[in-house]
A and B are shown apart, each in its own frame.
Chain A
Amino acid sequence: MFLETLGKSTLEFFRQMQAMGSLLVRTVYWAVAGPFKQKPVSRRGFFAQTVFSGLHSLAIVFFVDFFIGVVLAMQSAYQLEQMGATMYVAALVGVSMTREIGPVLTSLVIAGRVGAAITAELSTMKVTEQIEALETISLDPVRYLVVPRFLALLIMLPCLVILGDVIGIFGGYVVGVTQLGLSSGLYIDTTLEFLTVKDILTGLLKSAVFSVIITMIACHEGLSTEGGAEGVGRATTKSVVSSFILIILADALLTSFFYFAKT
């Protein structure tokens, strides 16, 4: 009985992954070949998406990342003080913010904000026959709805992560300078000394992968919704929860890849 359930859910998981994979192939196809085959997707839709997923997410990303920087600095100070190595707070905050916490937390916030919004919008369109209406006027929903959202988040999420990293480091800086007795110059110098371009690039690569996960899950759930308003609610919840799980999974995979690739 347990094995049966396990087998069924594993099968279901792989079926979902396969559906998502084929959606990704179609999305990339339309994103690359689309402009040559037909009129390019309206720029207005794309810009509206970048504004929504990028600009309008700034406040919440800043809020979350700033306080995470603050907490991170205090937590690490608590440990490092015992070894008399308080000045390394700057290094720890800088590296963990850019490599790990910045990309993951920002992506989780965006999955909750943008991913949920995408699923809610597309699933409402699905249950009110708007998706079918698009198809009957020969507009592929993938080209028309998924591609602009995909490209917008693929560009905006790494941007948000960079800004979030800066704000997070600033949060650590505030704690370091006001509470830990580190001088402003020393804090900045230590941060810059330990932070490498590779750390930042690693974080950016992660965030690009996360953005693909968020849009693919959100669009797949949205476009395969059935069953009225209740279906919309279910799809939105599932979209956010699946994004969270897959982001964490992908993060573990990528981090271990980078870790072992280094040695």
Chain B
Amino acid sequence: MNTAGEAVIRVKDLVKNYGGRRILDGISLDIYEGETLVVMGGSGCGKSTFLRHLIGSLRPDSGEVWMFGKNIAEASEEAMEGIRKKFGMLFQSGALFDSMTVGENVALPLREHAKLDESIVRIIVKMKLELVGLRGFENLMPSQLSGGMKKRVGLARAIVMDPKIVFYDEPTAGLDPVMTGVVDKLTMDLTKKLQITSVVVTHDMNSVFRIADRIVMLHQGRIVEIGTPAQIRNSKNPLIQQFITGEAEGPISFVQTSDNYLDHLTTETA
């Protein structure tokens, strides 16, 4: 664990409402340099929304998100452009551009933002694909790849600009156990080898305990607990215990509505 490092991301009192519902309800959190922070929580707990605030694709209703010395909740489009070049993001499905080959996908950020010779771009692309174990895949189209490969190409694209921070949106969702292990190992390798700070949003408990330095548990837009994997595993909080063991019964209710069931049955809904 590396909490001694500087906080690279500081989130202060983040609030977001969406369609009359409060999705994020006052989240404050520091993320330190070089650590792997896992944000976990059930579906609809706000973890994806939280991640989208960190990458600046959503703006909060109130609160601050400080990254690289700038509050990206209020940053101008020009400032955001500079900040975006310093982090990478791995999307849930990889989000590869269908019309480009694997190599072009990985090279795109370099070609657009770095003034590099084409031969150097090619070498960097080969290096990044090597890092994710896809040597020689440059000329394939995304449609020819499996789900796990797409994610790995997405990861290669996310790290092609040598970012300081990489965000992962459910990196292991929909993968078989072996591929989950591969992606987890990649995440850990990148963090250690390249000194990257990783923020991983997931609900895959196996990979949470495998990769995390610290874990944040979200529930209904609030932080339930922050701690090391050991602290979380031994937590007395019934919410966390239910999440780890995957019980259907417990404080995380399976029925989302708080209305009286009888009322719900007898009232006409248009």
Contacts and interface: CB of A to CB of B under 8 A. Distances in A.
Interface of A: 38-39, 124-125, 128-130, 132-139
B113 interface: yes
Interface in B57-94: 57, 80-81, 84-85, 87-89, 91-93
Interface of B: 55, 57, 80-81, 84-85, 87-89, 91-93, 95-98, 108-109, 112-113, 157, 161
A129 B93 contact: yes
A138 B91 contact: no
A138 B109 CA distance: 8
A104 to B, nearest CB: 31
A133 B95 contact: yes
B113 A136 contact: no
B95 A128 contact: yes
A224 to B, nearest CB: 15
Contacts of A39: 112
Contacts of B112: 38-39, 137-139
A39 B108 CA distance: 12
A11 B92 CA distance: 36
Contacts of A124: 98
A208 to B, nearest CB: 27
A133 B89 contact: yes
Nearest to B52: A132
Given A130-B97, A134-B97, A136-B87, 9 more contacts: A124-B98, A129-B91, A132-B91, A132-B95, A136-B57, A137-B84, A137-B157, A137-B161, A138-B84
Contacts of A132: 57, 91, 95
Contact of A133 (B81, B87, B91): B91
A137 B109 contact: yes
The 6 closest A-B pairs by CB, nearest first: A133-B95, A129-B95, A138-B84, A137-B109, A129-B91, A138-B81
Contacts of B96: 130
Nearest to A129: B95
B139 to A, nearest CB: 16
A151 B158 CA distance: 30
B98 A125 contact: yes
23 contacts: A39-B112, A124-B98, A125-B98, A129-B92, A129-B93, A129-B95, A130-B96, A130-B97, A130-B98, A132-B57, A132-B91, A133-B91, A133-B97, A135-B57, A136-B57, A136-B87, A136-B88, A137-B109, A137-B112, A137-B161, A138-B80, A138-B113, A139-B112
